[in-house]
Structure 1
């Protein structure tokens, strides 16, 4: 495994980090507790020392599972990354969306990152995770009802109190990141990035390279699509959010699978899976510090972790990039 420093912080994270959204069950059609805990522990055994979660993932369920999974591991050997600012227990802030919890009960979610809310959420996360500090605390989504400076001031307070080791943002544009950095030199920005979703390369990546801000890429496998295992007629579990997204339209699934067929021989030549090839390509991209890879069981977790165990030569990366240049998705 490779370990990389997050921005200007003291936190070193594994280049492949365990993404704990799916194990929360919410928006993924549920999850199995035992499988989730085994997935995290299998990931750790392969050298993945970092776990990224959030309170909204199962309304606390993901954080609780992460806390259970790391029991018995020396705290200094694991990095806990979590978030704040997606509240389902208040009607303050900027309304985000309607959803349901894991039991099917309706919920309204609000983006809210006022100072007192940030500090309260941090305390709640510490309790659920069973720890006395968080390695990286990130605002989950921008909150247009709270000044960016106020949110950053709350993070500065938590840094001074030792409740967090580093502060980050998530889903921030280059413009918002510049505004945040006027108050606090945040360590990272967590944003969507994959072979088929590369919009951050235009503005955000150059700015992060210029300022030394790390990029944490989420959904590098495009929520499972880039594994090559999803077909146009795939049947999703009730509550799974993926069928409603652009990339999961049947025609786009067909086109992406055709692209994957072009690079599949390279994976075979290197003795790796498509998933591993995709993750390796991602963590080799300019500006990308960490890629989050979710897993719902131990086998998936171990496979993802091993993406850092091999390298890609320049001509191999060029082969992938050429095939990508020929991929056109239906909008």
Structure 2
């Protein structure tokens, strides 16, 4: 495995990081806790030391699974990355309305993007309990909250850092201007944003800014939620509750277009005895400005395959060939 520092911090994370959204089941149809725990532990056994989760993933389920999985691992050998600012459990509406959704039991939920000071502190305490730890390595705001001053949000995070409950602060889905504003309160080491071969919008502004300011980019959905594995076809049937069924990236025309791209890069994967998914993950962490790729897994086999993508060695010519095909897409 390769390990990389986040921004200007001394926090080293694995270049392939375990993304625990799907492990929580929410918006993915279901979860098998035993398999999810085994996936995280198997991932660690092959060098993946970093795990990214969030309270909203299964309304605490994902964090609980992560906490259970790392019980048998020495705490100082793993990096726990979690988030705050997506509240489904408020007595009254606060923040920006995010979505109508359902929990894993089918109960209706309204989710709000809210990062008021007391809410941030409350959420941290809940996450620490679920994760079974006394500190969080990277604490990230999940989405911007337009109803709360950025300075207020990060004053709360700064207090948590002073108390030793958080080591470093990060953001997710932030613009360059929002990062710059947060920086006026405390050091921001990373921005977690969506990035994949077929979703490269961050390369226009976010990537150049983060490179210049020495902020790490944590790429989420690098496999475009499974689309770039080559296992999705235009007539694919999703489980009930799987959010991908209504996603623009999973409509028949886009799936077919993507699979044409994958067919063109498959010979490179074959020459490395690698799967398409493994090749895509390796390509992702070779991109300028991308520090780590978050890769989800529902079972141990998937987790190990994701981790083994680090073993692929791509030549300059092979990277350029893939880049040209991606540009053509």
Q: Smaller-chain TM-score range?
A: over 0.9
Deviation at 1:94, TM superposition (A): 1.4
**Cα distance per residue 1:180-238 (max 9 Å; x no partner):** 11222201000000011111011111110111000000000000000000000000000
Alignment of 1:282-301 (within 5 A): 282-301=284-303
CA distance in 2, matches of 1:181, 1:207: 13
Aligned to 1:63: 63
Residue 76 (structure 1) shift: 0.3
Q: Secondary structure at the match of 2:97?
A: strand
Name 2:323's counterpart in structure 1. Answer: 321
Give distance in 2, aligned partners of 1:63 and 1:23.
9
Structure 1 CA distance, aligned partners of 2:286 and 2:149? 35
Q: Which residue of 2 aligns with 1:4?
A: 4
Mapped contact 1:84–1:121 kept (Cα < 8 A): yes
Q: Describe how 1:38-117 pairs up with structure 2 within 5 A.
A: 38-90=38-90, 91-117=93-119
- The one-character-per-residue Cα deviations of 1:161-183 (angstroms, maximum 9, x if unpaired) are 11011100001011211111122
**Partner Cα separation in structure 1 for residue 203 and residue 182 of structure 2:** 20
2:130 is aligned to 128
Q: Give yes or no for the alignment of 1:302 onto 2:304.
A: yes
Shift of 1:325: 2.2
Aligned to 1:180: 182
Q: Does 1:191 align with 2:193?
A: yes
Distance in 1, Cα, partners of 2:324 & 2:155: 45
Q: Distance in 2 between matches of 1:78 and 1:15?
A: 13
- Contact 2:279-2:312 within 8 A present in 1 as well: no
Counterparts of 1:156 and 1:8, CA distance in 2: 17
Taking structure 2 as the reference length, what is the TM-score of the superposition?
0.98
CA shift, 1:263, in A, is 0.5
- Decide whether the 8 Å contact of 1:10 with 1:166 is kept in 2: no
Question: Within 2, Cα distance between the matches of 1:293 and 1:140?
Answer: 17
Pairing of 1:181-330 with structure 2 (within 5 A)? 181-327=183-329
Alignment partner of 1:187: what SS? Answer: strand
Gaps of 5+ in 2: none
Q: CA RMSD in A?
A: 0.7
User: What count of residue pairs does the alignment treat as equivalent?
Assistant: 327
TM-score, with structure 1 as normaliser: 0.98
Per-residue CA distance 1:269-294 (angstroms, 9 max, x = gap): 01111111000000011111111000
Shift of 1:72: 1.6
Match for residue 167 of structure 1 among 157, 166, 169: 169
Question: What SS class does the counterpart of residue 280 from structure 1 fall into?
Answer: helix
* Pairwise CA distance, 1:9: 2.0
Unaligned runs of 5+ in 1: none
Q: 4+ runs of 1 displaced by more than 2 Å?
A: none
